Amino acid sequence: MLKSAAEEAQRILREAKETADQTIKQINKLAASSGVSKELEAERSRLREQLKKTDDKLAVKAKGPSQPISPKN
């Protein structure tokens, strides 16, 4: 159950990244003539770094058993 919740959170985060990328691309097109492209790119980089940190926190890490598994007789 926890694994499926983490997978869902990762899916949502991926969708958010895609939406942010599309939005920034559209804004960059509109702002290209106004001279604010550098500032927008810096903001985009900051946002992607923030999303990456969140994604790293949500990553499902494989864990072995907490106790050795012994065969039952």
Nearest Cα to Cα of residue 17 among 68, 51, 50: 51
Residue 72 lies in a domain: no
Confidence of residue 68 (pLDDT cuts 50, 70, 90): low
Residue 19 domain-assigned? yes
The answer to the question of residue 29 being in a domain is yes
Give the span between the Cα atoms of 3 and 9, in whole angstroms: 10
Domain count within the chain? 1
| Residue 26 domain boundaries | 2-58
Dihedral angle at the C-alpha atoms of 41, 46, 52, 56, nearest 10 degrees? Answer: 170
Beta-carbon contacts of residue 30 (< 8 Å; ≥ 6 apart): none
Within the chain, residue ranges assigned H as helices are: 2-31, 37-58
| 58 vs 70, residue with greater confidence | 58
Residue 52 resides in a domain: yes
Whole-number Å distance between alpha carbons of 65 and 13: 29
Which pLDDT tens digit goes with each residue over 20-55?
888 878 877 777 777 777 777 788 788 888 888 887
Query: Would residue 31 count as lying in a domain?
Result: yes
